[in-house]
């Protein structure tokens, strides 16, 4: 491989790539999975592309704001606890100081067959097949899979953002801007698992827009194989509003178990008008996994996902009723 070139301005040419925090890209370059002919360093644009600003009752997050900077923001801690927890439970403190919000949304799967550089993998080498199907699939997806790929989306932040209905600003290589929902960034693997997002080459995420925080109960629950610094075995982001004792609005998204951040619209609808007790929470959790297609070695993941949702619903519900009763713990 020839030595790549570094640009300090402009947009990446064909076979070139943007680089921001680099935590995922540099790792994949070392593994030979990514072999860019050149890199365009976003460092010189950091001043204009980072920072958190109030915006019509919501917040605009510059895409080059680091995960750690976002996590430290008091508005995030106070008004967007699901986002705060998704960040605080992500990666390690050092990686959170490096990684940017935009880059985090675009991180690649940790499927070991994708990362080993040689196994047949339709995502890395289209048309070669999928080694995970029928292979070691315990860490991989049970929702949104296809006969070509079962790699899971590994991130935390996107799960919280999709749950909130956040959108983002994207700039194309000619500087034209558009807004798209974070949910619409991700593509199901289908027949082309190598096409992971709806972005075109040279597109750049410039900002993430958080909506006005109307929810009174909101959280992110992450279950993992060790106490800290691990990808989610299953996770759930939820936000609730209540009318008296009954749920009037519910949003639920699942992470760790799906090929994309997985919104559970049908299960959300079942909660409306009901009192949220632990039994209802567990029923809702199971409903969120209704479409799961686990292999025989993935059976446990259905229960894990259902319990992640149930726990998040109970925590969010307690948050609402304790704030209402004036027992807010505060940050």
Partner 1 sequence: MMLTINGTDHPIPDDIRRTLLDFMREDLGLVGTKKGCDHGQCGACTVHVDGRRILSCLQLAATVPGAVTTIEGIVTEGDLHPMQAAFLEHDAYQCGYCTPGQIMSAIACVNEGHIRSDREIAEWMSGNLCRCAAYTQIRAAIRACTLQTAEAST
Q: Which residues bind partner 1 (CB under 8 A)?
A: 3-6, 19, 22-23, 26-27, 29-30, 39, 41, 43, 46, 68, 91-95, 97-98, 227-229
Residue 143 tokens read as 């929702």
Identify whether the C-beta of residue 192 lies closer than 8 Å to the C-beta of residue 125: no
Cβ nearer to partner 1, comparing 90 with 247: 90
Cβ nearer to partner 1, comparing 93 with 126: 93
Check the CA dihedral 63-66-67-73 and report its sign. Answer: negative
Shortest approach of partner 1 to residue 231 CB, angstroms? 12
Cβ nearer to partner 1, comparing 68 with 288: 68
Identify whether the C-beta of residue 205 lies closer than 8 Å to the C-beta of residue 106: yes
Shortest approach of partner 1 to residue 39 CB, angstroms? 7
Residue 63 tokens read as 């895409």
Shortest approach of partner 1 to residue 72 CB, angstroms? 9
Q: What DSSP state is assigned to residue 224?
A: -
Identify whether the C-beta of residue 157 lies closer than 8 Å to the C-beta of residue 105: yes
Identify whether the C-beta of residue 298 lies closer than 8 Å to the C-beta of residue 276: no
Shortest approach of partner 1 to residue 221 CB, angstroms? 16
Shortest approach of partner 1 to residue 107 CB, angstroms? 12
Tell me how far apart the alpha carbons of residues 231 and 152 are, in angstroms, rounded to a whole number: 11
Cβ nearer to partner 1, comparing 68 with 306: 68
Burial 233-256 (b: 16+ CB within 10 A, else e): bbbbbbbbebeeeebeebbbbbbb
CA 206 to chain centroid, in Å, comes to: 17
Shortest approach of partner 1 to residue 30 CB, angstroms? 7
CA 163 to chain centroid, in Å, comes to: 10
Tell me how far apart the alpha carbons of residues 197 and 107 are, in angstroms, rounded to a whole number: 11
Q: How far, in Å, are 61, 210, 218, 313 from residue 169 at the CA level?
A: 10, 11, 24, 30
Cβ nearer to partner 1, comparing 95 with 125: 95
Residue 52 tokens read as 């958190």
Residue 105 tokens read as 């949304």
Cβ nearer to partner 1, comparing 6 with 275: 6
Cβ nearer to partner 1, comparing 68 with 149: 68
Shortest approach of partner 1 to residue 244 CB, angstroms? 37
């Amino acid at each position: 491989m020839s030595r790549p070139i570094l640009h300090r301005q402009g947009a990446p040419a064909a076979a070139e790539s943007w680089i921001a925090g680099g935590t995922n890209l540099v790792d994949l370059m070392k593994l030979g999975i990514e072999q860019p002919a050149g890199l365009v360093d976003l460092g010189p644009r950091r001043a204009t592309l980072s920072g958190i600003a109030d915006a019509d009752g919501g917040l605009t997050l510059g895409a080059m704001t680091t995960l750690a900077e976002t996590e430290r923001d008091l508005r995030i801690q106070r008004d967007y606890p699901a986002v705060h927890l998704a960040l605080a439970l992500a990666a390690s403190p050092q990686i959170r100081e490096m990684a940017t919000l935009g880059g985090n949304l675009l991180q690649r799967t940790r499927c070991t067959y994708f990362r080993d550089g040689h196994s047949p993998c339709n995502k890395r080498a289209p048309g070669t097949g999928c080694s995970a199907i029928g292979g070691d699939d315990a860490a991989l997806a049970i929702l949104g899979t296809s006969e070509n790929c079962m790699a899971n989306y590994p991130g935390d932040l996107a799960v919280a953002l999709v749950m909130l209905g956040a959108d983002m600003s994207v700039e194309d290589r000619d500087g034209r801007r558009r807004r798209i929902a974070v949910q619409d960034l991700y593509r199901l693997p289908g027949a082309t698992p190598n096409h992971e997002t709806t972005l075109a080459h040279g597109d750049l995420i410039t900002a993430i827009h958080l909506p006005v925080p109307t929810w009174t109960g909101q959280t992110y629950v992450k279950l993992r194989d060790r106490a800290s610094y691990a990808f989610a075995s299953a996770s759930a982001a939820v936000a609730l509003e209540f009318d008296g004792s009954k749920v009037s609005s519910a949003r639920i998204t699942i992470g760790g178990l799906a090929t994309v951040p997985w919104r559970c619209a049908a299960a959300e609808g079942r909660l409306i008008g009901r009192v949220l007790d632990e039994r209802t929470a567990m029923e809702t959790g199971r409903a969120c996994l209704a479409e799961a297609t686990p292999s025989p070695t993935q059976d446990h993941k259905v229960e894990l996902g259902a319990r992640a949702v149930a726990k998040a619903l109970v925590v969010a519900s307690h948050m609402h009723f304790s704030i209402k009763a004036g027992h807010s713990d505060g940050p």
